[in-house]
Amino acid sequence: MTTDIRHLVCPHCHKVNRVPDDRLASGGNCGAMNQAQISQWLQSQGIR
Is the pTM of the predicted complex or chain greater than 0.85? no
**For every one of its 48 residues, what pLDDT tens digit does the chain have, with 9 covering 90 and above?**
567 998 888 878 889 989 888 887 776 788 888 876 666 666 777 765
The structural domains of the chain, ordered by start, are 5-44 (2.30.30.380)
User: 8-45 in b/e burial notation, b at 16+ Cβ within 10 A?
Assistant: bebeeeeeebebeeeebeebbebeeeeeebbeebbeee
